Amino acid sequence: MALPNDVDVLVVGAGFSGLYMLHKLRGLGLSAVALEKGDGVGGTWYWNRYPGARCDVESPYYSYSFDADLEQEWEWTERYPAQPELLKYINHVADRFELRKDIFLETTAVSAVFDESENLWTVTSIGPEGGHVTRARYCIMATGCLSSARMPNIPGLESFQGQLLHTGMWPHEEIDFTGQRVGVIGTGSSGIQAIPVIAEQAQNLQVFQRTPNFSVPAFNGPIDQQWYREIKENYPELRERSRHTTMGIPFQRRDQAAIDISEEEREQVFEEHWPKGGFRISSCFNDLMRNQESNDSLASFVRNKIDQMVHDPKIAQLLKPYDHPVTGKRICVDTNYYATYNRDNVELIDVKSDPIQEITAHGIQTEDHFFELDTIVVATGFDAMTGAMLHMDIRGRGGASLREHWEAGARTYLGLAVAGFPNMFTIAGPGSPSVLSNMLTSIEQHVEWISDHLVHLREGGYTSSEAATVAEDEWVDHVRELSEKTLFPSANSWYLGANVPGKPRVFMPYIGGVGRYRAHCTDIASRDYEGFVLK
Ligand code: NA7
């Protein structure tokens, strides 16, 4: 089927947000299409197919809640879902709800221009058939938060004659590292997940670490059937609870401040939470991101664990994070990460003290050493939260460009709309909880809010909805002020754009929690969409 020329709604992206948005729009009787750059659906889980790729939210919660039959019939096999299973799930959803007929794959939206005279978006895309222009009343950006992979700016990268792979753009075919000399650059979540798996195959693996990150074990395994049965029996209540928590997961942070108890007592609480796996450890006190001393206790607890897991004290020392509060960067959730450094075929290269100078045809040259390699795996992350949208040329009223509007940092109203860009909505946009939460909970809330808003516009006979500049300004200030009450801004994280040279340092996600944010959005809607100019 050919991409239509006119639709009610054009959705950019066919990951978790794009698919649910499409499904909801159908339910509203609106004509809608989704454009997707990849040759399959899945977004993040389509691109990030590197070995060990796994979600850090438990399977039963990292799933859609909008359809009870889907929830009951789908069977997750592991506590934390691996990428192949997530991709299978999202493909199942695309088939089950017959979404594919409105999804245009291998189709990249390159520009979106608002036509003020008709209140329509003109979206230009490039697909298998060449260029196409689609006109749509509404344009919804379901472009993902971690979808714009970033190659490091290392001299000579393009001259490498071996295999060069980026975790965020992993090839579709199986990569066999057997017998290879492999180098991994980057020790964020992607590197930390990939390293233990590659180490098992490769002849030898050299990890080029610039800054160590905090990582906690997932204690992943086959899903506990009794636990899963109980979840399935109580899904409606658990989902509803999730929607009102901080992170969008149905367990609340323990309501106690670490600072109120002794160091010994804190230690005991950490020990109790450690074996629970993953994020549980960061939810064990309510002041870990507000109080430096509390955070320091958890940081030193994790550092002690690193000492216990890594046999060589010098390597253990190098692996200990020192420059940011624990959870100031999204904490990594791993399987055997630290223990991997006990293997004879794995070497940790500290590129802080011995910086990478260049990549040559045959390997990596640091200041002091040359490392001959067959494969380089680049795990250097993303231009997060804004990268995918800013890759497009988006122009709102008066031809104003989004790149200029966001020149000093992303500006949105509620992470849902942008002043000067009428009828454009963002799912999990900057200024919303997004990456600080279970993405699925946040995505569903945004999709449902946007759907309700479109119904309101239709019923009110409006053809244009736009965030007011004053509402956007106040929201941007509010998001910043909330972040300044925490330790988050002190970490050089991608939350702040600190990983991309030249990107303005602005804390992008809303830190007040999923529940509070949701209540606020609902309140705005109930007050006739306060802060939006409807025409
Ligand atoms: P991250 O978390 O941004 O990590 C990127 C890593 O790459 C990090 O260790 C960086 O070190 C390192 N890096 C980046 N550029 C370079 C260069 N030029 N040389 C050496 N090392 C470099 O990305 P991920 O893909 O791991 O994870 C992103 C999110 O996906 C994650 O938080 C989860 O939510 C899922 P640096 O810290 O900059 O010194």
Q: What is the pLDDT of residues 261-295, one digit of tens each?
A: 999 999 999 999 999 999 999 999 999 999 999 99
Could you tell me if the CB of 190 is within 6 A of ligand 1? yes
In whole angstroms, give the CA distance from residue 32 to residue 103: 9
Does residue 494 line the site of ligand 1, with CB under 6 A?
yes
Nearest CA to ligand 1 atom 35: 189
Kindly indicate the confidence band of residue 139, based on its pLDDT and cuts at 50, 70 and 90. Answer: very high
Q: What is the pLDDT of residue 534?
A: 98
Nearest CA to ligand 1 atom 10: 186
Cβ–ligand 1 distance for 380 under 6 Å, the answer yes
Residue 213 sits at φ, ψ, to 5 deg, of: -115, 160
Length of the chain: 535
Q: If you search the block for the tokens 């995918």, which residue do you land on? A: 388
Q: What is the pLDDT of residues 242-256, one digit of tens each?
A: 999 999 999 878 999
Provide mean pLDDT across the span 188-199. 98
User: At residue 397, does pLDDT exceed 90?
Assistant: yes
**Domains (range + CATH), the chain:** 6-148+383-534 (3.50.50.60), 150-214+327-381 (3.50.50.60)
- State in Å: Cα 186 to ligand 1 middle: 5
Residue with CA closest to ligand 1 atom 4: 188
Nearest to 288 by CA among 262, 263, 324, 325: 325
Ligand 1: residue whose CA is nearest its atom 18: 152
Cα Rg of the chain, angstroms: 23
Give the distance from CA 372 to its chain's centroid: 33
Share in percent of the chain as helix, strand, coil (round to 5): 35, 20, 45
| 144 close to ligand 1 (CB < 6 Angstrom) | no
Q: Is the CB of 497 under 6 A from ligand 1?
A: no
**Cα dihedral 247→415→127→377 (10° resolution):** -50
What is the number of the ligand 1 atom nearest to the C-alpha of 190? 26
187 Cα nearest atom in ligand 1: 9
Q: Per-residue confidence at 1, pLDDT binned at 50, 70, 90?
A: confident
For the cut 90, the answer to whether the pLDDT of residue 69 exceeds it is yes
Q: Where are the alpha helices (DSSP H) in 310-432?
A: 313-319, 337-340, 387-391, 402-405
Residue 185 near ligand 1, beta carbon < 6 Å = yes
How many whole angstroms from 210 Cα to the centroid of ligand 1?
Answer: 9
* Ligand 1 pocket mutation pick from 150, 323, 380, 382 by most atoms within 8 angstroms of CB: 380
Strands of 346-350's sheet in order across: 163-166, 375-378, 181-185, 204-209, 346-350
Quote the ligand 1 centre to 378 CA distance (angstroms): 9
- Alpha carbons 197 and 182: distance in angstroms, whole number: 12
* pLDDT of the residue at 328: 97
Q: State if residue 53 touches ligand 1 by the CB under 6 angstroms criterion.
A: no
The residue whose CB lies within 8 Å of the most ligand 1 atoms, and thus the one to mutate among 206, 210, 214, 366, is 210
378: which strand partners?
166, 185
Q: What is the mean pLDDT of residues 314-325?
A: 98
Question: Across residues 60-79, what is the average pLDDT?
Answer: 98
First to last CA, the chain: 34
Nearest to 302 by CA among 256, 284, 51, 190: 284
Taking the C-alpha atoms of residue 52 and residue 193, their distance in angstroms, rounded to an integer, is 5
Q: Whose CA is nearest to atom 30 of ligand 1?
A: 189
* For ligand 1, atom 25: residue with the closest CA: 381
* Ligand 1 center–CA 189 separation, angstroms: 7
Task: Give yes or no for residue 375 having a pLDDT over 80.
Answer: yes
Are 109 and 392 in contact by the 8 Å Cβ rule? The answer is yes
User: What are the tens digits of pLDDT across the range 108-136?
Assistant: 999 999 999 999 999 999 999 999 999 99
Whether 280 lines ligand 1, by a CB cut-off of 6 Å, is no
Q: What is the Å distance from ligand 1's center to 314 Cα?
A: 22
Per residue in 419-463, pLDDT (tens digit) is: 999 999 999 999 999 999 999 999 999 999 999 999 999 999 999
Q: Ligand 1 center to residue 101 CA distance, Å?
A: 37
User: From the CA of 149, how far away is ligand 1's center (Å)?
Assistant: 10
Rounded distance, CA 334 to CA 219, Å?
8
Ligand 1 and 193: CB distance under 6 A? no
CA of 383 to the centre of ligand 1 (A): 10
Pocket of ligand 1 contains residue 357 by CB under 6 Å: no
Residue 295 near residue 326, CB atoms below 8 Å: yes
What percent of the chain clears pLDDT 70, i.e. is strictly above it?
100
- pLDDT value for 293: 97
Mean pLDDT of the chain: 97
CA of 386 to the centre of ligand 1 (A): 16
What integer is the mean pLDDT of 169-196? 97
Counting from 1 in the atom list of ligand 1, the atom nearest the Cα of 435 is 34
Whole-angstrom Cα distance, residue 418 to residue 416? 7
Atom of ligand 1 nearest to the CA of 189: 26
Q: What is the dihedral of CA 518, 521, 527, 529, to 10 degrees?
A: -160
pLDDT classification of 466: cutoffs 50, 70, 90: very high
Which residue from 55, 322, 499, 500 has its CB within 8 A of the most atoms of ligand 1, so it is best to mutate? 499
Q: What does the pLDDT read at residue 56?
A: 97
C-alpha neighbours within 13 Å on the C-beta side of residue 183: 27
The response to whether residue 499 sits with its C-beta less than 6 Å from ligand 1 reads: yes
Is 212 touching ligand 1 by the criterion CB < 6 Å? no
Model pLDDT, residue 384 = 97
CA of 169 to the centre of ligand 1 (A): 14
Atom in ligand 1 nearest the alpha carbon of residue 191: 26
Shortest-distance atom of ligand 1 to CA 167: 25
Closest ligand 1 atom to 152 CA: 18
Measured from the CB, is residue 152 less than 6 Å from ligand 1? yes
Residues 6+ apart with CB under 8 A from 335: 52, 54, 193, 196, 217, 218, 220
Predicted confidence (pLDDT) at residue 227 exceeds the cutoff of 80:
yes
